[in-house]
Amino acid sequence: MNLRRSYLVAAALVALSALASVLAFPEMPARMATHWNAAGEVDDRMAKRFALALLPALSAALLGLFALLPRIDPLGENVARFREQYDTFVVLLVAFLTYIHLVVIAANAGYEFEMIQAVSPAVGALLYYVGVLSEHAEPNWFVGIRTPWTLSDEEVWRRTHERAAPLFKLAGGVAALAALVPAYAELLIVVPVAAVALYATVFSYAEYRRSAV
């Protein structure tokens, strides 16, 4: 995706999220539901001014941050090698937050649906693309599996990301399946991601030790 076009798309999504907040404001309850437990019950609320501002502001902040990171990364020239995947991830992350924002507004507007079933496919899609990004990521300080061992050895970085990429894709597929079994949704989303992160960390250490022999 073209750099300029990708960030224009992400900025348009931030604007859409903000516009949705403005239009929805009069119809929202004074305290909006903002979190649901595994049973689909509301377990946290927030004043609507803050609830409607939170995700648009977070999206805007993350968009600005990800635009800045390649410029301040000491290994920024490496980011240029996978910039297409990097920029696509930024767009997908902003799209994910925009989608979550719209779903929260819809729930507070009285539409009835299972929150976890609405959210888990989006989580799965984002995790799947983390796998795609991992396939292309070059050593840098901000994106990817950044352990002391991957950052110390480019070959360890490469092997760790090659090993983790399909696992992140698998974790994304499992997370999406949580929509079919909402009773186990938290396990299906959290456990695979935690397992992949732990495995990648241990793998990077083992590969570093092996290469040092």
For residue 40, give the DSSP letter.
Answer: S
pTM flag (> 0.75) = yes
The whole-angstrom separation of Cα 126 and Cα 92 is 7
Residue 2 has pLDDT above 60, yes or no: no
Secondary structure class of 63 (helix, strand, coil): helix
> What tokens does 102 get?
């719209």
Q: What is the pLDDT of residue 213?
A: 65
What's the chain's average pLDDT? Answer: 94
Give the residue carrying structure tokens 């931030």. Answer: 14
| pLDDT tens sequence across 58-111 | 999 999 999 999 999 999 999 999 999 999 999 999 999 999 999 999 999 999
Q: Are 143 and 155 spatial neighbours (Cβ–Cβ below 8 Å)?
A: no
User: How deeply is 42 buried, as exposed, middle or buried, from its count of CB atoms within 10 A (0-12, 13-18, 19+)?
Assistant: middle
37 band by pLDDT with thresholds 50, 70 and 90: confident
Q: What is the pLDDT of residue 41?
A: 86
Closest CA to 67 of 147, 14, 10: 10
Residue 212 has pLDDT above 90, yes or no: no
What's the half-sphere exposure (Cβ side, CA atoms, 13 Å) at 170? 11
| pLDDT tens sequence across 140-168 | 999 999 999 999 999 999 999 999 999 99
Q: What is the pLDDT of residue 99?
A: 98
